[in-house]
Structure 1
Amino acid sequence: MAAFPRMTFEHEMKFRHAAMEWLAMRTNDGAEPMYYLDIEEFEYDGAKIPLRNRYKGIWKPASFGAALSFTTKFTKPGRERPYEDAVGSDGLMRYKWRDGGPDIPDNRALRAAMEAGLPLIWFYGVAEGVYQAVFPVFLVGEEADEQQFMVEVADMDRLSRDGQIFSEGPSLSVVEKRYAARMARQRLHQPVFRSMVMRAYDEHCAVCALHHVELLDAAHILPDAHEDGIAAVTNGLSLCKIHHSAYDRKFMGIRPDYVVEIRTDLLNEVDGPMLRHGLQERHGERLLVLPQQRKERPSSVLLEKAYLRFREVA
């Protein structure tokens, strides 16, 4: 690996732009995860500078003046909640300091990125050695009492703007805060949640076993808005777009024992082959595909709550 001299602010920005453009190309604009060895293939000006560190959560290359990326490790299902991040009332995500106090090098590196308004990459573990790259993200504040940074998960067009420094979160109305919190969760959790669910179901529809990932969605058993609607694989189902739509609109329900039910009025309807084969014939049948690991299978508690809501209209 070639050694780079100390980078200027302008060179760091060019590097970050190049890295994120490369990640966008390799991940289908952030929709697909990457194996850790693939992440290490990035080259800049003919040399390799790692985009993350295998052994540290916060990464600042030696030639950089500020952190380039930070990582959230994958947590195996059943041990604890997959995400430890939180959304504040200001709609911003939080990322904890590394243990050791505010002035250890890693925390200073994040602080330097915040103060310079530099874009960073958040690598979120979705399986052992597999990461969802969330980018660009900006550190826009620090809460010393809670030992954490405030993170804005931004759109790619934010890269074209000048960096901004915030000493505290933006002042928002109650409605704006609620909207900002929802958008923050979506920008981080949607790609992470999708990757976890697709991997668990080996890119098959749970109901019909369709095996074309482009036609599959990661469906929530209970929606985000529900108090139990966490973005965890146990609250997820891999469904083709037809079955996802049918599930969300209560045309189809799934019992806690993984048996599919179709709404009564739809069972009695006469239509084309999609209705007959895609929905009516699935009534009373078990899901065709489930995760191999039992701890990744749909929660029976969450399925029961969703099924009771389905029965209200069935």
Structure 2
Amino acid sequence: MDAALSITTTFRAPGADRPYEDSPGPDGLLRYKWQGTDPLHPNNRALREAMERRVPLIWFWGVAPGVYKPIYPVFLVGEESEAHQFVVATDGLQNLEATGAGVDEVLRRYLFQQTRARLHQPVFRSIVMRAYETSCAVCQLRHAALLDAAHIVEDSHEDGIAAARNGLALCKIHHAAYDTGILGVTPDLHVEIRGDILDEVDGPILEHGLKRLHGQALRVVPRHARERPAPELLAQHYESFVSATVPRAARVDLGFDGRGTTVHGR
């Protein structure tokens, strides 16, 4: 039992700083800070032992006070003593090493993308599901297996933060409709359905699952104001939704002036 079994990143409320900031390095792999600055601190020695034995660890990532999402397995693949930190790789990536050739840049991009995906996605889902109490924001469906954590602004965008205010808990049909521009959410949290879909005649799923939602307010929003969808992020996505469905000159008729402002009531 000399080697560590897990590492932990504490929850950070929006706008607050963590006591230790675990962030990606230039090679795309994440860094995990030492406990303090003493290399012989028992926690640091246990982590070093895990690194030398190449054993897997569990990373507990804080998503709320006292609530953690486990990410596993992860591996410590290096130590940067000057910066008081260890280098962390996700499963399978610990065996990828720099070659000294021109492929290194491609390798770094791959490592960054894979590490981000393996950590970002489950953490983001946990944050959003907790905020929306495991319910679809549009239809209130409560079956977790049928729910997704949808990004308002995609995570590849500079504004695509992994926070509840950039997320919506959506069932799979409404998530697909949101991502493909069939369903939009206004900055004041109302649902809109694309015009050609409203004109279409089909079965009960289209009629009751989409068309009848047009103009309705979201049925579920987070209790805490800081976790509710950010109007400016909703405005970015809604602008794309409107741009793809109506001419620019007609946008005011939908009640949106392009700045996240509702022009008239519903």
Fold shared per TM-score above 0.5: yes
Q: In the alignment, is residue 295 of structure 1 matched against residue 223 of structure 2?
A: no
Distance in structure 1 (CA, Å) of the matches to 2:203 and 2:106: 44
Give the counterpart of 1:308 among 227, 239, 242: 239
Structure 1 residue 144 corresponds to structure 2 residue 75: no
Compute the displacement of 1:226 (Å): 0.9
Counterparts of 1:250 and 1:280, CA distance in 2: 14
Match for 1:216: what amino acid?
L
CA distance in 2, matches of 1:143, 1:299: 38
Question: Do the aligned partners of 2:37 and 2:84 also contact (CA within 8 Å) in 1?
Answer: no
Instruction: Find the counterpart in structure 1 of residue 25 from structure 2.
Output: 88
CA positional deviation for 1:260: 1.2
Mapped to 1, the partners of 2:5 and 2:210 lie a distance apart of 48
Question: Secondary structure in 2 aligned to 1:187?
Answer: helix
C-alpha distance in structure 1 between counterparts of 2:59 and 2:242, whole Å: 41
Partner of 2:182: 251
Match of 1:8 in 2: none
Give the letter aligned to residue 257 of structure 1.
D
Residue identity matched to 2:60: F
Give the share of equivalent positions with the same residue, in percent.
56
Q: Structure 1 length normalisation: TM-score?
A: 0.71
Of 90, 98, 119 in structure 2, the residue corresponding to residue 170 of structure 1 is: 98
**Does 2:52 align with 1:115?**
yes
Q: Partner letter of residue 91 of structure 2?
A: A
Count of residue pairs brought into register by the alignment: 241
**Matches of 2:91 and 2:98, distance apart in 1:** 14
Structure 1, unaligned runs of 5 or more: 1-63
CA RMSD of aligned residues (A): 2.1
Deviations 1:258-280 (A, max 9, x none): 11111122222221111111111
Q: In the alignment, which of 45, 66, 73 is matched to residue 129 of structure 1?
A: 66
Secondary structure of residue in 2 paired with 1:250: coil
- Matched residue of 1:107: which SS? helix
1:261–1:84 Cα change, 3 Å: farther
Contact residue 90 and residue 170 of structure 1 kept, 8 A = no
In the alignment, is the contact (CA less than 8 A) between 2:98 and 2:104 conserved in 1?
no
1:203 aligns with 2:140: no
Q: Which residue of 2 aligns with 1:280?
A: 211
| CA-CA distance at 1:308 after TM superposition | 1.3
Q: Which residue of the partner structure matches residue 41 of structure 2?
A: 104
Deviation, structure 1 residue 239 = 0.1
Q: Which amino acid aligns with 1:180?
A: L
1:140-165, CA deviations, whole angstroms, 9 ceiling, x for partnerless residues? 1122333221111216xx9xxxx97x
Query: Residue 65 of structure 1 corresponds to which residue in structure 2?
Result: 2
Offset of 1:179 from its aligned partner? 2.5
| Structure 2 gaps, min length 5 | 246-266
The one of 257, 260, 263 equivalent to 2:194 is 263
CA deviations over 1:285-310 (Å, ceiling 9, x no partner): 11000011111111112111111122
Indicate the SS of the match to 1:207.
coil
**What displacement does 1:233 show?**
1.4
| 1:87 Cα deviation from its structure 2 partner | 2.3
The two structures have a TM-score, normalised by structure 2, of 0.84
TM-superposed CA distance for 1:84, in Å, is: 3.9
What's the secondary structure of 2:52's corresponding residue? helix
Residue equivalent to 1:191: 122
Q: Cα offset for 1:77? A: 3.5
Q: How far apart, in 1, do the equivalents of 2:37 and 2:98 lie?
A: 29
CA distance in 1, matches of 2:15, 2:195: 36
Please give the alpha-carbon distance, in whole angstroms, between the structure 2 residues aligned to 1:100 and 1:88.
19
Other structure's SS at 2:31 match = strand
Aligned pairs for 1:18-29 within 5 A: none
SS in 1 for 2:210: helix
How many angstroms apart in 2 are the aligned matches of 1:112 and 1:241?
Answer: 43
Relative to structure 1, is the Cα distance of residues 133 and 294 closer, same or farther in structure 2, using a 3 angstrom cutoff? Answer: same
Work out whether residues 78 and 295 of structure 1, in 8 Å CA contact, stay in contact via their aligned partners in 2: no
The answer as to whether partners of 1:70 and 1:123 remain within 8 angstroms in 2 is yes
Structure 2 letter corresponding to 1:197: V
SS across alignment from 2:134: coil
Sort the Cα spacing of 1:65 and 1:213 in 2 relative to 1 into closer, same or farther, 3 A. same
